A = this chain, B = another copy of it.
Amino acid sequence: MANDKKQVEQITDMEVDFTKWYTDVCKKAELIDYSSVKGLMILRPYGYAIWENIMAELDRRFKDTGHQNVSMPMLIPESLLQKEKDHVEGFAPECAWVTMGGSEELEEKLCIRPTSETLFCDHWHNIVHSYRDLPLLYNQWCSVLRWEKTTRPFLRHREFLWQEGHTLHATAEEAIKETEQQLETYAELCENVLAMPVVRGCKTDKEKFAGAERTYTIECMMHDRKALQSGTSHYFGDGFARAFDITFTDKENKLSHPHQTSWGLSTRIIGGIIMTHGDNSGLVLPPKIAPIQVVVLPIAQHKPGVTEKAEELVSRLKALGLRVSGDFTDNSPGWKFAEYEMKGVPLRVEIGPKDIEAGHCVCVRRDNGEKTVVSLDELEIKVPELLSAVQRGLFDKAKANLDEHTYSATSVEEVKNIVETKGGFVKTMWCGGLDCELAMKERAGATSRCIPFAQEHLGDVCPVCGKPAEKMVIWGVAY
């Protein structure tokens, strides 16, 4: 941003090549850079600042509901990972293994955590004894590593930043309640902070987390109508507790296994923000998590009094607690407009000699380009109003996209046709069989996104096998 020689170059048209548009935005908005190890990304200051704002929002919500942060080791001995059978089957193929410490070969190889259930269980085995020790409501902020074959910025890193919550409860009911509560926390964050409408639901057995009894998910629709799984929470029953020999004496002095949950949201959500709100001028950020909410740009700043007045506006807006920046470099206004559009700054405030004379400034919304002339007397009232309008506008636009591109179908052919010609989410009934789920993928090119909490009755039979079907599933093409 300090380099006024830099040109804001054209990015690929999103309607021509959405994938290339996406990568262009990640790079040109200075969110990321590639490192010399494939799939390990550098989060640059502007990209990391978005994550910091998301972290602050989530961390507050976690603490308000009684969760505590901890820090677990980054390495898991192979024998520990192997204790829960389904879990190791799911994760072992994508673990990175440490085999040497200094110049010595290790006796047992250690994997860099792909997720930390096993570490939490190992610790809980030591510290849990009585029902009085429960519940344990833990969370950690860290990075994890999964050795993926193909990688894309934010969406599929080998290393990614996330939070992983892990909780332990005396009863199944309590654990299930926690799993649902944490999913709702993610849903509320997405809708109210990130302006991303979600579909809440349950994963099918095929799609659930390795080792989980039940996986809840929120699914978002991107601008290209593909699905992004944006946050998940898992109920484990007492499977891990049995595998790790975690027991407690309950109120009746009987020895029991506690019930467990985990839940995670990662930097992948930043990819979701980009693909939900972005446009051909670049990133578009919801005001609530934008590192810069308002940029003040002086017009004809060499004219007497312009810089001073622009600086005054910056101070006045900062005094409201807003994240405000002024750009007083000698780049042209046109260059600056393009730069802050690329960076997705929600509101631009322009002030030049004529504006000063008229006692107003010009506010331009990033989401729809709408210009509002604001009297300088009303700055403190109008700017927050405009930011709220941008936040609401972004949600409404994304919600319209979701609603317009969610379809119902009663046959595989219909699903296939919608997926191929329109894209989006397709609702159908489903018998619950794995074979039918696999057949839908094979024949219609769509995977099950979730069994939505909000069920509808679209018919009586499964569109694949024709047998009785009681559940409604949402199908789509996913990132």
- A interface residues (Cβ-Cβ under 8 A, vs B): 2-5, 33, 35-37, 40-45, 48-49, 51-52, 68-77, 80, 93-103, 109-110, 112, 119, 122-123, 126-127, 129-130, 132-133, 138, 142-143, 145, 147, 159, 161
Residue of B at shortest CB range from A46?
Answer: B68
Q: Could you tell me if B70 and A42 are in contact, using CB atoms closer than 8 angstroms?
A: yes
Q: Taking A33-B126, A122-B36 as contacts, is the C-beta distance between A100 and B110 under 8 angstroms?
A: no
Residues of B contacting A42 in the complex (Cβ-Cβ under 8 angstroms): 70-73, 119, 123
Q: Could you tell me if B99 and A97 are in contact, using CB atoms closer than 8 angstroms?
A: yes
Q: Taking A69-B48, A71-B48, A71-B161 as contacts, is the C-beta distance between A100 and B96 under 8 angstroms?
A: yes
14 CB < 8 A contacts A-B: A2-B132, A3-B132, A33-B127, A36-B77, A37-B76, A40-B74, A42-B119, A45-B70, A52-B69, A71-B161, A96-B102, A99-B99, A100-B109, A101-B147
Q: Could you tell me if A36 and B70 are in contact, using CB atoms closer than 8 angstroms?
A: no
How far is the CB of A109 from the nearest CB of chain B, in Å? 8
How far is the CB of A62 from the nearest CB of chain B, in Å? 12
State the oligomeric state as a number of copies. Answer: 2
How far is the CB of A326 from the nearest CB of chain B, in Å? 15
Q: Could you tell me if B98 and A102 are in contact, using CB atoms closer than 8 angstroms?
A: no
For the complex, give the distance between the alpha carbons of A93 and B68 in Å. Answer: 36
Q: Could you tell me if A159 and B73 are in contact, using CB atoms closer than 8 angstroms?
A: yes
Q: What would 12 more interface pairs be, CB under 8 Å, given A45-B69, A48-B71? A: A3-B132, A4-B132, A35-B72, A37-B73, A37-B77, A42-B123, A43-B71, A44-B70, A45-B68, A48-B68, A74-B159, A98-B99
Q: Which 4 A-B pairs have the closest CB atoms?
A: A40-B73, A45-B68, A43-B71, A101-B147
Q: Which of A2, A48, A101, A159 has the most CB of B within 10 A?
A: A101
Residues of B contacting A93 in the complex (Cβ-Cβ under 8 angstroms): 102-103
For the complex, give the distance between the alpha carbons of A6 and B48 in Å. Answer: 42
For the complex, give the distance between the alpha carbons of A51 and B70 in Å. Answer: 10
For the complex, give the distance between the alpha carbons of A126 and B72 in Å. Answer: 34
Q: Could you tell me if A68 and B97 are in contact, using CB atoms closer than 8 angstroms?
A: no
For the complex, give the distance between the alpha carbons of A72 and B33 in Å. Answer: 10
Residues of B contacting A126 in the complex (Cβ-Cβ under 8 angstroms): 33
Residue of B at shortest CB range from A128?
Answer: B3
Residues of B contacting A123 in the complex (Cβ-Cβ under 8 angstroms): 33, 35, 42
Q: Which of A73, A130, A132 has the most CB of B within 10 A?
A: A73
Q: Taking A3-B130, A102-B95 as contacts, is the C-beta distance between A36 and B80 under 8 angstroms?
A: yes
Q: Could you tell me if A147 and B102 are in contact, using CB atoms closer than 8 angstroms?
A: yes
Q: Could you tell me if B99 and A35 are in contact, using CB atoms closer than 8 angstroms?
A: no
How far is the CB of A246 from the nearest CB of chain B, in Å? 14
For the complex, give the distance between the alpha carbons of A71 and B97 in Å. Answer: 22
Q: Could you tell me if A5 and B132 are in contact, using CB atoms closer than 8 angstroms?
A: yes
Residue of B at shortest CB range from A103?
Answer: B93
How far is the CB of A207 from the nearest CB of chain B, in Å? 21
Residues of B contacting A127 in the complex (Cβ-Cβ under 8 angstroms): 33
For the complex, give the distance between the alpha carbons of A42 and B166 in Å. Answer: 14
For the complex, give the distance between the alpha carbons of A99 and B147 in Å. Answer: 12
Residues of B contacting A75 in the complex (Cβ-Cβ under 8 angstroms): 37, 40, 96, 159
Residues of B contacting A94 in the complex (Cβ-Cβ under 8 angstroms): 102
For the complex, give the distance between the alpha carbons of A69 and B50 in Å. Answer: 11
Q: Taking A71-B161, A73-B159 as contacts, is the C-beta distance between A100 and B99 under 8 angstroms?
A: yes
Q: Could you tell me if B68 and A49 are in contact, using CB atoms closer than 8 angstroms?
A: yes
Pick from B51, B52, B95, B98: contact of A97, CB under 8 Å: B98
Q: Taking A40-B73, A77-B37, A80-B36 as contacts, is the C-beta distance between A96 and B98 under 8 angstroms?
A: yes
Residues of B contacting A72 in the complex (Cβ-Cβ under 8 angstroms): 35, 42
Q: Could you tell me if A69 and B49 are in contact, using CB atoms closer than 8 angstroms?
A: yes
Pick from B2, B102, B138: contact of A133, CB under 8 Å: B2
Residue of B at shortest CB range from A4?
Answer: B132
Residue of B at shortest CB range from A120?
Answer: B42
For the complex, give the distance between the alpha carbons of A74 and B39 in Å. Answer: 11
For the complex, give the distance between the alpha carbons of A36 and B72 in Å. Answer: 11
How far is the CB of A243 from the nearest CB of chain B, in Å? 14
For the complex, give the distance between the alpha carbons of A129 and B4 in Å. Answer: 12
How far is the CB of A298 from the nearest CB of chain B, in Å? 19
For the complex, give the distance between the alpha carbons of A3 and B52 in Å. Answer: 35
